[in-house]
Each structure stands twice: as C-alpha cells, then as structure tokens.
Structure 1
Amino acid sequence: MNARQEKIIELLRESGGWMKGKDIALVMGVSTRTIRNDVETINASLTGAAIESSFQLGYHLKTQEAPVSRAKSVIPQTPEERRSFILKQLLRHRDININDLPEKVCVSLFTIESDLRVIRQWLADSSDLHLESGRNRIRLVGDEAAKRRLYKFLLSQEVEENFLNMDTLNELYPDFDLTEIRDLLAECEKRHGIEIRETAQSMVLMHVGIALTRVLNFNPMERVEALKDLQETPQYLAAREFWDKIARRFQVTAPEPEISQLALLFMGKGSGNYYKADTIPVNGKDISLEDLTTAMLEEVRKLYGVDLTTDSKLQEGLSLHLRGLLLRLRDRTQVDNVYLEELRWRFPLIYDMGVTASRKLHEILGIQLDPNEIGFLALHLGAAYTIHRKPSKYRAVVVFPSDQALATVVIEKIRRQFQDRMDVVAVLDAYEKKRVEDLNPDLILTTLPLDHGLNVPTVQLSVFYSQENESQIFQQLNRLDKNRQKDIFQHRIRELIKPEYFLETLDASDSEDVIRKMCQPLVKAGCIPPEYADAVLEREGYAPTSFAAGFALPHALNVTIRESAISVAHLDHPLQWGDHSVDFVLLLAIREEDRELLGIFFDWWIQIISDPLRFGLLKEKNGYAAFVQAILEEK
C-alpha cells in the first residue's frame, strides 16, 4: 500500500462510521474513481475485506484492528520520496550506479535522470554540495559537515510529527538501537541517583542520539565552556559512565566535551551553578544573561499580557539555554529541533511567543535566530505559560456504589491522572439528584448505568478502571474544552470575518503580494493602520507562518489595531511561502484588548486542522456563507 491508501484507512478509523467516497476524495485531493481503486488495492493487500463498500452509504472500516503501518513503503511512492531515497543512497555509499536505480525505485531511467536534475538544482540552492557523474556512476561531493546536515534533514523529514514514538525515533538512527541507548542511559541515571522528568528525558535522549551519531561519524564536539567543580557531581559521574560504556560498545573514544554536555543536561536548570560567570562575551561585550532573559520576558508580557518575569525556574532555564545558544552562534554550529513542526502546528501562539523573544534578542544583540532556535525558546516559554495559564478545572462527581477499598484505589488513580484538568468534588455511593445539582458538576463518573435528567455529560466506568475508561474521560474533557469557548467564538466569528474581508479568489505573485492585498479591505474598513502590512512582513522575516498542510496564518506583532478582524483568501494558484506551498490564507489582526480571543482562535484552528474532512470543506471555494457554515459546524 502507498501512503495515500494508508491515510484512507486512518481516516475511516477516525470516522468510526460510513464516509461518502466524494468526502474521502475531497480530503485526499483526488477523484472518486481513484478512491475506488485505492479501496480495491487495500482489500487485496489485507487479509479479508478490510473496507466495506455501499452504493448509498459509501465506505467504512469493517474492523478497527485493520493493520496500518506508519512506516514508509519500501518502494518510494512520490517524486519527493524517490529523490530522498536517492540522496540517502549517495550519502551512504561512495558512489552509485545510475543504471541500478530504476529497478530499486520501479521507475524508468528517464524518470531517474529527471530526478537527478531536480536534486542538482536543489543542492545548488540550499547547500554547498553538488553531484559529480561519469561512466554511469554518480557521487555526492562536498564538505563532510554539510553531508551530515543533509542526512539529519532527510531523517527528520521521515519522522514527520511523531517525535515521541520510540519506534519512529529509532528509525532515525540506523547506526544503533535507540531503545538500547535509552535503557543504558536509564541504568546510569539510576546507579547515580539521578531523577529526570519524563518530558525532559525525551529531550536528553534526542540529544544523546544526535551526539552519538556525530561521534560515530568522527565529528565529536571539540570543546565546551570551562566549568568549575563539574567533575565532582553525580551527574558528571553518570555521564562519564554512560560514555565509557558507549566507547566500549562502539569502539570509539569518549569525548570530554560530550561528557560535560550530557552532565549539564542531567542537571537541567541547576547547571547554571557550574559556570564561571553569569555573563557571556558577545561581539566584544559582556552580556548579562539575567538581564537578557528579563528583557525577553518583559517583551512577552507587554505583547501577550502574560507575566512570566517572576518565574525563577523559567529564568534559570532560559539563561542556561541562552548561554548555549550564544555559544553555538559564536562557533557557527547548528542544532536541529525535531519539535519544531509539532510546535508550530499545534501551538502557534506559543511559537509566536518564541518569535517575540527572538525579536528582542535581535534588537539587543543584532542577532537573528533561525526557526530551529526560535522553536527552542518557544519550548521554554510554552512550558512556563502552561503552568501560568492554569485554566479553571472541571468539577467531577463520582458515583461508585461498589466496595469502598476498591473505590478509593480507582478514585485516587483518576485524581492523579487528571489532576491538572479536573477536581473530584464528591464521591457518592448512590445518585441523589438534589445533592448532585447542589454540587454543580461539569462531569459525572459512575460505575453503573445512570439515567438522570441533568444536562451533565456522564461517563460509565468499569469497577476496575480500564485504559478504555481513561481514554473516555480524556475524550470527554476534550469535548468540555471545545464547548467552553464555543459560545464566545460563535458570537464573535461573524464580526471578525465579514463578507468584505473574504476573498474567494485572490490572484497574487508571491507571499508579500498576498499580504498587501489582504490588508487592503481591513485598512479601508478602518480596522488596521496602513503600515500593518509592513509589520506583517517583518514578522514573516523572523519565521514564515506557512504550514505543510497548504495554509498560512500571517499576522503582525506589537502594532496598534483599531478593530479585531480576520481576512480570508483562497489563492488563485498555489504559491511558495517559506518552505511550503500555500493556497489558503487567514490574515489575523487582533487588538490588544482581545488577546484572549487570539487564544480561542488558535484553539479552534487546531480543531479544524485536526479534522481532515472539515479542513477540506473549509478550503473549498463555495463562497462566504458556506465558509462560515464550515467554521461553525452548521449543517
């Protein structure tokens, strides 16, 4: 099966019911005939007919256990996958025979030669590498560091957004088993009494994977800033033991800078105590990391109304990160941020905070960060913002008439799992309508079928509390999240997106032309000042707001807006916008007084793009009324 056919299975699984062929075709961007052919291929590839067809109802997945592999097909399915395959072959071998490639990727020699022309142009535009050919053989020529950067780029493309899946991560590193490395790391941490949060452990593991790849390719870190008393710490001893075992396992030398860097990662925010000074030289001046951090957080406070300046943990962590960032810039080294696409896609408001912080850094030091570094800043700010935001928790009442000891165990588990989102305000052994009404719950959890007349969602649990129950509660909380802001959003959306701000077909030459044309109706209506387009372009200069799904969300930072509005445009033809091709644009202009509305918008947008069918309907050019209906889920 190819990637599209796997996506059809996933789409039907998520739907849980019947889907019309035309709806699937809309999501996939192909004809209904192609969908019919794909379904036949799927059913021929799997044991038994996995997808049932009906002339009236469409298609549905007969079994929810239909095997869907997230891995790429062995044979590249698209031109992009084919070119990536060729580049990886060139990176892994000194040279390759051009005549062998058609058989490996199941295309003609003419197609291979066409692919090589595209690869040559891409390398010329984006790297210091180039292809050399002769006697039917071809090889990749250039600096070894540039080759490694290309290899890491190709690997990160394979992972897509599934960066916390160990099986997927493992495929990034063909030279070793990342699961084995993880277990070895955990063993060393345990032996030296080091405890690391699960979220931080993922970051440490990613660092170790990249560092080990670098060492195995004879390109270890050559130096690290001189540190005081670091070698006496348990974190250093654990890092030393880990790298010593790695050295024996892979027959390499354990580099001292890599040991020190891993020790600092183990320490997390406490690593700041081991540096010689609280300043770092930049362009001939000693820069106070504390002052720099404070200035960046103050800029975030002014723009977003979120005061993180008193968060000492964030100050320490951000200062430590800035030290490493400035050293990387000084040494002209780069790091890849595997979290970047996930962050930009799922948390655009958080990513924008990173852009704001990077803009302040540029203002103070004259240094402009790339999107990877902006993403790292956003990770720090996002973690602190999540804690700071603390939306009000939902109130849950539990009706559990079973054994009291068992009830205590189950309820304690529920409290522990959902403590950040829900408070269990009462535990009852029987349902009493008046008592439950007085408690005013948002959610009722019960182990018995419960028929009540209250307008309160109810989740029936097993007395032994299964993983399915955990999932049911999680899904219900997500539905409550969705409904919490729905009334506000539905009331405001027609005010924000007026017919005169909706451009059903926009002919533009490039992204700048799109932005300037979309600003015109908002300027005419008095919503934004004439210079707003320039401010949007300045924001795009820090990091383009385009996404792989084919849309862009341009907006400005720190500009006075007279009236909140959103301009919508369907482009006459796709345009290259940053790294992505875009045909659908929403230009945002939200007043400072409506900051909360920006958060509501992004919450809504995440729901939209997470639903392929709904997103497909939104992108259809059916006019303003149909667009608003798709937004509000009106039937």
Structure 2
Amino acid sequence: MSKLNISPRQKFILEILCRQNCWVKGQEIAVELGVSVRTIRNDIQQLNTEIGVDPPLILSSKRDGYIISNREKALELLKQAEASQDTLPIYPDERANFILKRLLFEKTEINIYDLADELMVSDCTIESDLVKVKKIIEETPCDLSLKRNSDNIFLEGTEESKRNLLSQLLFEEAGNNFLNISKYDSYFEDFNMSVIQDIVLSAIKKNDLVINEIGLLNLVIHIAIALRRIKNNYIIEDSPCLESFLNTNEYKLAKDIAQGLSEKFGINFPQQEILYIGYMILGKRILKSKYSSFHYLENVIETKYIDITQKLITSIYNNFGINFSEDEDLLVGLAMHIKAMDSRIKNSITLRNPILDELKHRYPFIFELAVYLSNEFYKLTNIQMNENEIGFFAPHLGAAFERLNQKTALKKKVVLICTENLKDILSFKIKTEFGNKLELIDVLSIIEYDKAKNMELDFIISTADLQSHFDMPVIFISPFLDNKDIQEINKQLNFFEIAMNVRAVVSRIDCAIVEELFFSDLDIDDSFNVIKFMANNLYEKSYVPPTYLDSVIERESLSSTSFGNMVALPHALVMNAYRTAISVAILKKPIEWGDYKVQLVFMFAINESDVKNLQSLYKYLMQILDDPYAVSRLIKAKKFDEFKGIILDYYTVT
C-alpha cells in the first residue's frame, strides 16, 4: 500500500484497538472520541475497505464489539499514518484545547462556523466543545472569560492571564515529552525555541547562575509566548514595581535576556515586559552555581528557609522512619525550592507542574511524602501550597529516596537483543535511563538470542517478541525506547522489588482487607459521601479514632487521591489508626472524583507501627491497580472471597 488514506479519527480508532488488544465495544470508543456509535461503525467499515485485507483488519461482533485481527499489521499501518498525516484534534478535550490555543495565539475573535469547517465537525459539536472551553477557563486560576459576539467568540481578561493559560495548555499537550524543546517549535515558527534557550542559558552563565531543567523550560516557554504576543502588539499590563527589585539579580538577568532577544529577533522589549521576565525568573529555582553545597548555602539564603527544611526532614523521619538527615543534596535543593516558592507566592506567580499526574500515578508513595510535607509546611508557615507546588516537592524527595536505596540495592542483570543497526543507540539509551538499576551484560543480535539462555540474567530486553523462547521475562520494546517501553521496564523492576518481599506484603494485605470492611454495589453518587460512609464504618468498627474522617477530608483537599483507571485511594494525613485496615468499596456506577471517574475505592487506615511498610504496600497494590484487566475483574467481583483472591493471587498469576 503506497499511501494510507484514513481520517485522523479513524487513526485514533486503530490506536484504541491496538492499545486494548482485546474486544472493545463501539459505545466505549464512541464515548472516548465524543461521537456517535453509528459514526464509529461507519469509520470502521471505511477503514477495512481502505486497508483491503482478508480477513478484515478489524473484526466485529454484535455482542463483543471490535478487535484487531493482526496487531503487527495494525501497528505498521499506524506508523505509516503517523508519517503522512497532519492530525486534527479528535477528542472533545483536544478540540477544546485547540480552540483555546487559537484564541490565545491568533486573533481576538473566531467565527464558530469557520471552526466547525476546519475541524470537520458539526455546529452542534462545536457548541458542545465551547462548554468544555468555558470549563477549562473556570478551573484555571485566572481572570479570563469566554465571550460571544453573535457567531464570533473571544477571550476577555488580562494579558498575563492569557499567557499563563497558554503556557499551561502547551505543557499539557506535550505530555511526557514536555522537556523536549523541539515539541514546541510548531507554535513559534518565527522564533526558534533552541535559539531562545541558548540566549537564556548564555545570560544565566554570564551571571554565574544555574537553573534546573523544568525551571528553564518554563522560562523559555513564557519568553517564546511573550515574543509572539509582543510581535502582535499584545503587551503585558503595567504593574507596580518596588524600587528594590531593580537592584536584584533577577532583574539584571531579565535585562540581559531581553537584550539578547532584541538583538537576535529585532523586537523591542518595553520596561513592563522586562519586569515580567524578572518576576518569572523570581519564581524559578535559580541560584549561584558555587552555592550548591550546604556550607555555602548558609551564606546566600535566609536562615528561616534552612530551619524550615531541617524541620521537614526531621518530621519525615519521625513519621515515616526514613532518614534523610545526611542527604546534603536534599537539604540544599529543598531549601532553595522553598525560597523560590515563597517568592512565587508573595508575587502571585503560578507555576504549572507538567508532570503532576505522572508523579501521582507512577510514584504514589513519594507523592504522599510530598503531600505530608505540604501539610507540615503549612503548620510551620501558615502558607497553603497548591497541588502544583506539592508536585514540585516530589522530585526532590524521589531523588533522595533513590540515593538512599542505591546504597543497598543490587542491579538487575539484563541482556539487550536487537538488530545490528540499533545496538549502539539502544544500549546507550538503556544505560542512560537505567544505569543505576540495570547491569547490561551483553548486546546480542536477534539471530544470536540462544546465547542468552546460558547467561545468569534477571530478564531480557528485546525488539523482537521472543517470550516463547525463554522461561524468564522478556520485555518487548520498540526500536526507539519510548516512554511506554521505559514504563514497562520500570514495571518489571518494581515487580522484582515487590517479589522479594511479596510473602510479607501479601500477609499484611490478607490481614488488612477483611469482610466487615468490604462493600459491593455501593450506591453513592459523590466522592465526599463515599469517604464519609467508609470512614464512619471504620470508626464504628473501632479501627480508627473519631478524628479520622476529618483527616481524610483534609488530605483529599490537598490533592485528589484518584489517579485514573477507575481507582481512588483515600486515607488520613495522620497514621494513627488503632489497627491497620483497608476498607474496600465497589461502587454501583462510576462517579466523578477529582479529575477522574472512579468505581473502585481503597480506604487506608494505617497504624503507626506499620508506617515502615507503607511503601511496599503501595507498590504491591499499585502494580495491581495499574493493570486495567485486574481492575476490571475487581470491579466485577461481587463476593468478598472472589475479590480478595484476585488481589492475593495476582503475583502467582501474572
């Protein structure tokens, strides 16, 4: 087939079916793409006609829905479609973001009928998308509002709010690739992103400063947005400036950056735009490069920030038994972060955290430490951190936890099996990504795979599906080692870590999940009342003190405990249960819980004697709750013994 002529929506249908790799009902696909079941049926018929293979690539069943008949062929076609297609937004949320970006980037007003034609959807669908646009704006801390003038729409609000919202949308769209600066080039065709980054880094180096990756990217994105807006004569509003700010390193750096940008792009920066860059810098973690150790830190940062940081580190040890007291990198990083955060809060600067959802999902225990610290920080300072700021705490803690584990952890032994032309690049990527966790024993070509059978290995990484040839696990990766591959390897590493203590963990879970705390077909339609019902039951059965419910609600207010895959894990901030227990509720129907739909709820009540086991408990359960098939089985389980059996048997079955 020379060219695959399919629509963007049809491409997404293929992706959904490849991702699930099992029967999927048309209604499920329709809901995900925001169209009718009839549209899905027509699209699949057209897809099969266009692809023209026998049997059809997509098989259909009135009872079961749709399934891919040849996954390898489907993946090949998807790559072809990806290379030859400028994809329009398909999902309702994507269309809403597209409309918002158009309003923020291009012009003050947009005709809704022109939008419908461009996006190849009906006028009715556009009206529905505008409801989502309004919701996005309402949920964003800004003064923007969507206005309508007959058949035209426009945004009303301050220039600063428009730029902040645009930055947020770009980060969200980039997803896990947010640190790849080239991902943003298409939005700034007149201003090469790498050139902007070089100008910023040059100014930072000139001033003997350093900046972390996320802070740099945030700054570069905001500057690129400012350049494009200034070019279109949208200037930031005048804001009062303290005379003292003009003498700061942040303002000096902002002037140097503005000068470099003006020389390169021929755009004049008014004083208020230089101040805007200065205030953005104030909110980033930028510090004198020579002050990266605790000895010098005392000379450049107020004592109060060091004292707060030391108290937070002590509180982690007192409540979780994790000793970070000798980790100088954590003390320096956290103290500088708290100083920068204090500046952001005082100057009303909101910093978007592009990896918040990933942190909550992939590193629940580390994120829980961050939530705990945010509450301790509030007790010490009376400053309430938002969810984005809590997320910025997590990488500091995660890195410290990793350093602590590396002192005793043994690397897993692996072999890479791939084609000759991929050996160098893939082995380099694996060593870069997993150098502290994996020992790459050898790199074999696919025809040499038999050699691996005589090696002492923990598992194999391969670009060919060789699982049937080995008794040990084989991680099947793409030739590019993408984010999905990295997650699969991390999942295997987590599996090994859990398996080492699986008997002990399973025993604790066996004791914690009991029939008197199990509820199936629970008919409650909002998260607050689910929490209230489960917490009150724990109290009535003498598992928790009377303050437990308030503590769970307080924890939920800091950051939602739902994380996707239909699951929520509510729990108290304080580990003071009379005895450790896990209450379980299977809801009669999914409900809104934070940003996700939830139907399966695990409520943790942890006694202080079990705090030391919390991480292994989280890891074990998250391995199960991250598996869509396992979650589906758990939700369908009506009997307690069946439900508990699925959990306890998980590691003997998978």
TM-score by length of 2: 0.73
Contact 1:4 1:28 (8 Å CA) reproduced? no
SS of structure 2 residue aligned to 1:288: helix
1:246 maps onto 2:249 in alignment: no
The one of 62, 70, 81 equivalent to 2:94 is 81
Aligned to 1:100: 114
1:472 and 1:112, CA in 2 relative to 1: closer, same or farther beyond 3 A?
A: closer
Contact 2:146 2:153 (8 Å CA) reproduced? yes
1:561 maps onto 2:577 in alignment: yes
Displacement of 1:474 in angstroms is: 9.8
1:551 and 1:513, CA in 2 relative to 1: closer, same or farther beyond 3 A?
A: same
Displacement of 1:515 in angstroms is: 0.7
Contact 2:163 2:225 (8 Å CA) reproduced? no
Contact 2:321 2:612 (8 Å CA) reproduced? no
Aligned to 1:403: none
Aligned to 1:450: none
SS of structure 2 residue aligned to 1:420: coil
The one of 266, 286, 289 equivalent to 1:265 is 286
Displacement of 1:569 in angstroms is: 1.8
SS of structure 1 residue aligned to 2:154: strand
Contact 2:305 2:338 (8 Å CA) reproduced? yes
Displacement of 1:8 in angstroms is: 5.5
Aligned to 1:284: none
SS of structure 2 residue aligned to 1:583: strand
Aligned to 1:130: 145
Structure 1, residues 264-308: CA drift from partner, whole Å, max 9, x if none?
7375683696998532xxxxxxx7111011112222222221122
**Structure 2: distance between partners of 1:422 and 1:35:** 44
1:240 and 1:358, CA in 2 relative to 1: closer, same or farther beyond 3 A?
A: same
Aligned to 1:278: 301
SS of structure 2 residue aligned to 1:313: helix
SS of structure 2 residue aligned to 1:582: strand
Displacement of 1:130 in angstroms is: 3.0
**Structure 1: distance between partners of 2:475 and 2:132:** 55
Contact 2:527 2:591 (8 Å CA) reproduced? yes
Contact 2:23 2:67 (8 Å CA) reproduced? yes
1:510 maps onto 2:526 in alignment: yes
Aligned to 1:59: 68
Contact 1:394 1:442 (8 Å CA) reproduced? no
Aligned to 1:339: 355
Aligned to 1:19: 22
**Structure 1: distance between partners of 2:404 and 2:197:** 32
| RMSD over equivalenced CA pairs, Å | 5.2
**Structure 2: distance between partners of 1:185 and 1:48:** 53
Name which of structure 1's ranges 155-164 and 585-594 shifts more when overlaid on structure 2. 155-164
**Structure 2: distance between partners of 1:290 and 1:314:** 11
Displacement of 1:363 in angstroms is: 0.8
Contact 1:227 1:276 (8 Å CA) reproduced? no
Structure 1, residues 346-366: CA drift from partner, whole Å, max 9, x if none?
112111211111112211221
Displacement of 1:367 in angstroms is: 1.0
Displacement of 1:313 in angstroms is: 1.7
TM-score by length of 1: 0.75
Aligned to 2:495: 482
Contact 1:499 1:624 (8 Å CA) reproduced? yes
Structure 1, residues 14-71: CA drift from partner, whole Å, max 9, x if none?
67xx634569969988999987666445445669789364989953412543326499
1:372 and 1:64, CA in 2 relative to 1: closer, same or farther beyond 3 A?
A: same
In the TM superposition, 1:83-482 aligns within 5 A as 83-91=96-104, 92-113=106-127, 115-116=129-130, 119=133, 123=137, 127-166=142-181, 168-170=183-185, 176-182=191-197, 188=202, 200-201=212-213, 203-214=215-226, 216=230, 218-219=235-236, 244-248=259-263, 249=265, 251-253=267-269, 255=274, 258=277, 261=281, 265=286, 267=288, 270=291, 278-279=301-302, 288-390=304-406, 392-394=409-411, 396=413, 418-422=434-438, 442=458, 478-479=491-492, 481-482=494-495
Aligned amino acid, residue 83 of structure 1: A
1:378 and 1:214, CA in 2 relative to 1: closer, same or farther beyond 3 A?
A: farther
SS of structure 2 residue aligned to 1:393: coil
SS of structure 1 residue aligned to 2:587: strand
Aligned amino acid, residue 298 of structure 1: T
1:370 and 1:41, CA in 2 relative to 1: closer, same or farther beyond 3 A?
A: farther
Structure 1: unaligned runs, 5 residues or longer: 280-286, 400-406, 428-435, 447-453, 461-465
1:120 and 1:492, CA in 2 relative to 1: closer, same or farther beyond 3 A?
A: closer
1:535 maps onto 2:558 in alignment: no
1:413 and 1:264, CA in 2 relative to 1: closer, same or farther beyond 3 A?
A: closer
SS of structure 1 residue aligned to 2:286: helix
**Structure 2: distance between partners of 1:308 and 1:625:** 41
1:475 and 1:379, CA in 2 relative to 1: closer, same or farther beyond 3 A?
A: closer
Aligned amino acid, residue 108 of structure 2: R
Structure 1, residues 436-476: CA drift from partner, whole Å, max 9, x if none?
99x98756999xxxxxxx9877999xxxxx988xx999967
Aligned to 1:463: none
Aligned amino acid, residue 208 of structure 1: V
Aligned to 2:609: 593
SS of structure 1 residue aligned to 2:601: strand
**Structure 1: distance between partners of 2:13 and 2:101:** 28
**Structure 1: distance between partners of 2:633 and 2:189:** 40
Displacement of 1:317 in angstroms is: 1.5
SS of structure 2 residue aligned to 1:306: coil
Identity of aligned residues (%): 28
**Structure 2: distance between partners of 1:24 and 1:492:** 40
SS of structure 2 residue aligned to 1:128: coil
**Structure 1: distance between partners of 2:639 and 2:224:** 54
Displacement of 1:116 in angstroms is: 4.5
SS of structure 2 residue aligned to 1:505: strand
Aligned amino acid, residue 574 of structure 2: N
Contact 1:2 1:77 (8 Å CA) reproduced? no
Displacement of 1:626 in angstroms is: 4.5
Aligned amino acid, residue 265 of structure 1: I
SS of structure 2 residue aligned to 1:535: helix
Contact 2:32 2:91 (8 Å CA) reproduced? no
1:490 and 1:171, CA in 2 relative to 1: closer, same or farther beyond 3 A?
A: farther
The total of aligned residue pairs comes to 593
Name which of structure 1's ranges 596-605 and 250-259 shifts more when overlaid on structure 2. 250-259
SS of structure 2 residue aligned to 1:485: helix
